[in-house]
Structure 1
Amino acid sequence: MGLETQVADYLHYSQVERGLSRNTILSYNQDLKEFMAYLKTKDLSSWNKIDRFVILDYLQYENKQNKARNSVIHAVSTLRRFFRYLMQEKFISENPMVQVSSPKQAHPLPQVLTETEVNSLLDAPDTSTKYGCRDRAILETMYATGLRVSELVHLKLDDLHLEMGLIQTLGKGNKERIIPIGDVAIDWLNRYLRDSRPQLLKNRQSPYVFLNAHGSGLSRQSIWKKIKQYVALAGIKKDVTPHTLRHSFATHILENGADLRVLQELLGHSDISTTQIYTHISKKRMTEVYRKYHPRA
């Protein structure tokens, strides 16, 4: 069997037997396609001729192509699974990946807005229009609660407990959590629910809080585009995504004295090590402020 045939069989096995998602299969296919293209340049036409030195040479080649570290890590993970499959199917007698260690994952600090930038962003929508009022309520809610964009678009009217200052959401792994929401965000939500949402609904029914022009729930992509639009209007030069507001919420609340465990609960992180990245951001921000304002820094 040729290399391409065995790769195709592996992808079919991953989809049918393991039930992996289409996106996962596509990413495996891309990694293996690039690996096979490299093997052709080395005239290697059999998996049994590939040892750990071939793998290491390939990874070095990938690094020289200026591949992102996380892309190389993903490629190693794909190859590890693929060669395990070849061993299982007895296409090879030795697994070359056994002696190949994965590069350490890069953890770049996420982009965060300053409080001044957040205020500029929140002020960007024209709140005299029904869409601007809705968008202001969206931005205020995201910054006040740290909701993921997927949680925001699935937010339902029954999830709002504004009289108690709380929002209920279903996060990753169907994990439910209750989040406090501040008075300013509550005021904008109430204004949107009273004035703008009925105009968007147009006598139709929808359980979702935030609606598009057709009275249906918003998509993640539409939120992303709206934020990009308002970032430009606010004159913010940073690369801002919906998740930037979540990062900014977490960083600002930590800088103002919140406990890390409380922040973990607010963000819905199952592991506190995920939350700890915000302590690094907070320290970085502290260093920047020190260097800017201390006369001898």
Structure 2
Amino acid sequence: MSSLLVDDCERYKHFLVAPTPEFRGPRTVKTSKRWRPFAEEPMGTGSQKQAVLILRGMFDWLVKVRYLAGNPWTAVKDPVVIVQAEHMQVDRALSRNSWDTVVDVLTLRAAEPDNQQDRVALAAILLMGDSGLRRAEAASARQDKLKASRHASGVWMLTVLGKRNKIRKVPVSGRTIDALRAHWRDRGLDFDSTPADLPLLAPLVVPGTSAAQARHRDHGANGYRANSLYDLIAGALDRVQAHVAEHTSQEAPLLTPEALVQLKHTSPHAFRHTFGTLAVEDDMPIVVVQDVLGHASAATTSIYVKTKEKRIAEAAELYYERRRSSVGNEAVKKT
């Protein structure tokens, strides 16, 4: 690193735009032989800038402790980042019908005795879609932080540690509790016994890697990692799509072709957006949605209102077009 020049830093900055194939790979744990430092999809400009900032900060520290005489990254300009007014991709939120279909199909599959993976996936998806949790928050949620509400029947409250190390309380639905109970039975545990410092979600099938075996040696004391939860949910959504394809018909499709395409590209974070969108549609106060989602600013939560306005505008456009066509037809008949 002491030999690094500004030109080297510039070349690395350009490398971040399109890393060569040997540096890219699928998202997986670092202990896997398939792990690579970069994902297969291109890195966004925001991530490129973050990488440069991290390297510059690291070299600043090395200069301060007198390991290096100077910091070449000081002369390197940050990658240009185009800032979007609405940076959250709330358009990935599922429609009400798609969300209900996902839950209904997984509930049906979870009723089969051998479908343990569907039961834990259903619990995880409901934690995100009914409570607005981030994937990492669902993975780290603990059972002793979940209690029945004293203020409303059928509602539980879960204390979670979210972004910026902020603690908040989120509501948990009765159907989520039922799904958690079923998952805990699969783990050989009684969900309704004395609250325990155990993860709400824990893998029932542990990979054969030494790291995974060591992490889950205590039989459920450690829950899912966020990336493992991603894989669990992705697999469950694949099974939902297969079920829909098998049981749908042109006369009564479970999902439209457009909804199926969206579901194929749905990530776990989309369920958090689904909660925000549907909560606003059902007239949950914005301040409450903000508290549940843990947004630092009400302006962030207001994006879900704008999403609703977009749908209203699109529906109104179709309505007005039909009205214009109707009026035009009447005029033709009179002439």
- Report the TM-score when normalising by structure 1: 0.64
Q: Offset of 1:191 from its aligned partner?
A: 3.5
Uncovered stretches (5+) of structure 2, i.e. residues with no partner: 18-41, 207-218, 242-259, 325-335
- For 1:285, give the aligned amino acid: R
Please name the residue that 1:157 is paired with.
143
Return the offset for 1:108.
Answer: 5.9
Whether 2:237 is the aligned partner of 1:231: answer: yes
Over residues 141-163 of structure 1, what are the superposed CA-to-partner deviations in whole Å (9 max), with x where a residue is unaligned?
A: 22110011111111111011136
Does structure 2 conserve the Cα–Cα contact (< 8 Å) formed by 1:7 and 1:32? yes
Equivalent residue for 1:187?
Answer: 178
**Distance in 2 between residues matched to 1:255 and 1:276, nearest whole Å:** 12
**In 2, Cα distance between equivalents of 1:255 and 1:140:** 18
Using the TM superposition, name which of 146-155 and 66-75 deviates more: 66-75
Pairing partner for 2:97 from 98, 102, 116: 116
Correspondent of 2:83 among 85, 105, 108:
105
1:219-277, CA deviations, whole angstroms, 9 ceiling, x for partnerless residues? 21222122222323333322211110001100110111122222111111122232232
- 1:61-92, Cα deviation, whole Å (9 max, x unpaired): xxxxx98554676689689989x99xx97899
C-alpha separation in 1, matches of 2:146 and 2:76: 54
Identify if the C-alpha distance between structure 1 residues 133 and 105 changes in structure 2 by more than 3 Å, giving closer, same or farther.
Answer: same
Which moved further from structure 2: 233-242 or 250-259? 233-242
Say whether the 8 Å CA contact 2:13–2:52 is kept in structure 1. Answer: no
Residue 115 of structure 1 deviates from its aligned partner by 1.0
Instruction: Mark the CA change 1:198 to 1:287 in structure 2 (over 3 Å): closer, same or farther.
Output: farther
Inter-partner Cα distance in structure 2 for 1:267 and 1:281: 16
Q: Which of 124, 138, 158 is the aligned partner of 1:138? A: 124
1:5 equivalent in structure 2: 5
1:114 Cα deviation after fit: 0.4
**Residue number in structure 2 paired with 1:178:** 169
Q: 5+ unaligned residues in a row in structure 1: which ranges?
A: 9-28, 39-65
- The one-letter code of the counterpart of 1:114 is S
Matched position secondary structure for 2:105: coil
Is the contact between residue 16 and residue 43 of structure 2 (CA under 8 Å) also seen in structure 1? no
Q: Which shifted more, 181-190 or 284-293? A: 284-293
- Partner residue in 2 for 1:222: 228
Summarize the Cα distance change of 1:292–1:70 in structure 2 as closer, same or farther, 3 Å threshold: farther
Alignment-mate amino acid for residue 105 of structure 2: A
Q: Name 2:245's counterpart in structure 1.
A: none
Instruction: From the superposition, tell whether residues 6 and 210 of structure 1 become closer, same or farther in structure 2 (CA, over 3 Å).
Output: same
Residue type of the alignment partner of 1:181: V
Name the CA shift for 1:168/1:71 in 2 (closer, same or farther; >3 Å). closer
SS, match of residue 169 in structure 2: strand
The count of aligned residue pairs is: 241
Is 206-215 or 239-248 further displaced after alignment? Answer: 206-215
* Mapped partners of 2:165, 2:76: distance in 1: 39
CA 1:152–1:291 in 2, change beyond 3 Å: closer, same or farther?
A: same
Q: Secondary structure at the match of 2:158?
A: strand
Instruction: State the Cα RMSD in Å.
Output: 4.1
Following the alignment from structure 2 to structure 1, what is the Cα–Cα distance between the partners of residues 76 and 149?
A: 61
Aligned to 1:33: 12
Deviation at 1:102, TM superposition (A): 5.3
Code of the aligned partner of 1:246: R
* Residue in structure 1 matched with residue 254 of structure 2 by the alignment: none
* TM-score after normalising by structure 2: 0.58
CA deviation after TM superposition for structure 1 residue 169, in Å:
0.9
C-alpha separation between the residues in 2 aligned to 1:118 and 1:237? Answer: 14
